[in-house]
Amino acid sequence: MNKMLQRCWCFLAAICCCASFCMAGEPVLIVSSDYEPYTSSRNNGSGVVLELIKQAFAEMHRDVTFQFYPWVRCETMVGAGEAFGAAPYFKNEERLKKYDFSDPIVYSSNRFFFNKEKFPKGFSWHTLKDFRGYRVGGIRGYWYIPDFEQAGLTIDYVSDDQANLRKLVFARIDFLVLDEFVGQKILRENFSAAEAAKIGVLERPESFIKFHLMISRKYPDHAELAAELNQGLRIMKKKGSYQAILQRYGLPSHFAVDDPDK
């Protein structure tokens, strides 16, 4: 009888080990939307943030797969545990109530874009309340919406950044906030030189803030996977491959994030 029980236990243990091995071999699902040069659906997922995430997991012998959706759906999938994480996202108090976050990946420099024909002398601001009385373009779910609403700004909602910039080019809104690299890339690739020349960037930044992977609390083994990602990023920084990816995408050296424990 004891031998029979031992055989059963060995058989169950083998099944568990096999199941664990199979789970370890499954690619980690990460969702995103086009936000070049940080994320891109081109070439099955590219952009500096997605490449850093992919290579960090590769350091830990873990495969990653990317799927692309609108930002709102990305958040829904992460919240439901259908995806491990969504990138790139800023960390704030509201999101911390629902999600975990990786260590910071890179910085993002966000600025107010404006129409130079409408404001030939530029525009000086100190607080968001200085934009009261103007129409500010906005996208639902973006980090700045709660602050804009609290400041009492008039927000003109659109579906994406290109539509937002198009409204600015044709002076249908007065300002919008966007990462400066993302905005310049959209202007170069989707507008004529004459249209792009109408758009300027205010000197004072809206924010210089760290991008993270926003992580599901319902995805299987999410804590272990987060630890692997963070460890992979630290390994990349020591090897120099982290810095090399930033350089390849043209991000300045000050966009690199030091290890959080330094």
pTM for this entry: 0.84
How many C-beta neighbours within 10 Å does residue 41 have? 17
Query: Do residues 30 and 87 touch, judged by C-beta distance below 8 A?
Result: yes
3-state DSSP assignment of residue 170: coil
**What is the DSSP code (8-state) at residue 90?**
-
pLDDT values of the chain reduced to their tens digit, one per residue, 262 residues: 455 545 544 444 444 444 443 345 689 999 999 999 999 998 777 999 999 999 999 999 999 999 999 999 999 999 999 999 999 999 998 899 999 999 999 999 999 999 999 999 999 999 999 999 999 999 988 999 999 999 999 999 999 999 999 999 999 999 999 999 999 999 999 999 999 999 999 999 999 999 999 999 999 999 999 999 999 999 999 999 999 999 999 999 999 998 654 4
